[in-house]
Structure 1
Amino acid sequence: MAAYVVRHAKAGDREEWEGDDRLRPLTKSGRQQAEALAERLKDEPIDRLLSSPYVRCLQTIEPLAARRKLPIEPRKDLEEGAGGESVIRLMQSFKGQNLVLCTHGDVSEELLERLVEQGVVARTAARNEKGGTWVLYDENGRVTSAKYLPAP
């Protein structure tokens, strides 16, 4: 099975945003990245869409949800500060299903660090750009390989 771990697309500048950071939306280029992500994943086997409840994450996978006619399931365990281990736990909870998990840079960074420590990802290959996707393949609840899809 596979998990597509997406770092949300480009959002407005955190320092310039005056409202609740959870409500900070994607920029125009971020919305274009979201559309391109939907195109990229249109033929992939996907069973569920899980996302941080932050607006920028939801907006990142909304075009994919519309195209695939799948609901987005907001998950607090994908919010900023949730930690990389939360992604692994979700993969184990939904074992046997192909997932898209949209989260934040700190969560995906911690996940990558863990995968580097386990020898699944080479440190030199550990990229984490906004809108980028890590495809994690698991066998028996353990990530065995991964590949990176650069941001569209």
Structure 2
Amino acid sequence: MSNPATVIAAGGVVWREYRGARQVLLVHRPRYDDWSLPKGKLTANEHVLLAAQREIEEETGERAILGPPLGVQRYAIRKNGSTAEKLVHYWSAVPVRESSFQPNDEVDEIAWLPVDKARIRLSYPRDVDIVDALEGAVPVVASLVLVRHADAVKRKDWDGKDTLRPLSRVGEGVAERLADVLGALGVDRVISSDAERCVSTVAPYAGGIERHIHLWPEISERGYDADPDGLRGLAERAWKPGKVTVVCSHRPVLPALSRELGLKVGKFATGSFVVAHRLADGRLVHERFGAL
């Protein structure tokens, strides 16, 4: 008999500063009589970032914005009469509205505790390790999401100007799904190449939060070809303190743009993105996600 498929789950360390001390939010599960961090399995085709945000809200009543990654737990579970591996991805999470928690069969109690008391209350050492990782991941000075535009109509199938070439139907679907992910990250500033395929990639999100899209022609293919040095100095403009900024550009531009922004250069499929956080100690943490 083949081994059961790996179970993927996601959650977060929800935290706040309260009376000069950092507190984290724990959940009590009556089924196991344990104290743990909010987490849960992904639903079908659900992005891991959205799963983390959803599970936090479902278990604690807190709507939270996700920050830097805190690590991945790996452990064995029983599944369908056999043993499977479970991977749980965790992020720092900051609540953005008052909790609407109601006790239920899955979680009957939540508790905000100072970090030292939370470490004692937690039932599993692996959860303590995740809470300990929070200390090195906050505070965040600025965050940035660098994305390649979603799938566009092929050049050979488009008779107009390349800058006006639109997204394909597949690309339009990706743009809609990207909007939910950008919401989970708390994006509040939107920058795009002036090409239609880039603007349309971030337009569903910008429209949803009623934010203006800042057009930067220098990060378009045409602008970069005309003046590669036009990217110089963009990092200072992109990394805006206190903001979570999304920047949408093109495959030929992204390597140079990544270097300018201080990020590692890598391949970008259409609709793929990097989430990066600049920490107060000067470090930069980032993670790469494939196409939606």
TM-score, length-scaled by structure 2: 0.44
Tell me the equivalent position of 1:52: 193
- 1:68–1:26 Cα change, 3 Å: same
1:133 aligns to 2:279 (yes or no): no
Tell me the equivalent position of 1:38: 179
1:90 aligns to 2:234 (yes or no): yes
Q: C-alpha offsets along residues 7-48 of structure 1, whole Å, 9 cap, x if unaligned? A: 000001112221100000000000000001001111322231
- 1:146–1:52 Cα change, 3 Å: same
1:106 aligns to 2:106 (yes or no): no
Q: Which amino acid is the alignment partner of residue 195 of structure 2?
A: Y
Tell me the equivalent position of 1:16: 157
Q: Which amino acid is the alignment partner of residue 210 of structure 2?
A: K
1:61 aligns to 2:202 (yes or no): yes
- 1:45–1:53 Cα change, 3 Å: same
Higher relative contact order (CA 8 A, sep 6+): 1
8 Å contact from structure 1 (residues 33, 131) kept in 2: yes
Tell me the equivalent position of 2:285: 145
Deviation at 1:143, TM superposition (A): 7.1
- 1:32–1:143 Cα change, 3 Å: farther
Q: Secondary structure at the match of 1:105?
A: coil
| Total equivalences in the alignment | 143
Q: Structure 2: how far apart are the matches of 1:70 and 1:26?
A: 21
Q: Secondary structure at the match of 2:154?
A: coil
Consecutive unaligned residues of structure 2, counting only runs of 5 or more, are 1-141
Consecutive unaligned residues of structure 1, counting only runs of 5 or more, are none
Q: Structure 1: how far apart are the matches of 2:172 and 2:289?
A: 18
8 Å contact from structure 2 (residues 218, 230) kept in 1: no
Q: Which amino acid is the alignment partner of residue 89 of structure 1?
A: G
Q: Structure 2: how far apart are the matches of 1:23 and 1:143?
A: 38
- 1:108–1:145 Cα change, 3 Å: same
Deviation at 1:105, TM superposition (A): 0.6
Per residue, is there more helix in 1 or in 2? 1
Q: Structure 2: how far apart are the matches of 1:92 and 1:145?
A: 17
Q: C-alpha offsets along residues 96-119 of structure 1, whole Å, 9 cap, x if unaligned? A: 03211111111113345x38xx8x
Percent of aligned pairs with the same amino acid: 29
Per residue, is there more strand in 1 or in 2? 2
Please, which moves more after superposition, 20-29 or 89-98?
Answer: 89-98
Bigger Rg, which one:
2
Give the aligned CA root-mean-square deviation in angstroms.
2.5
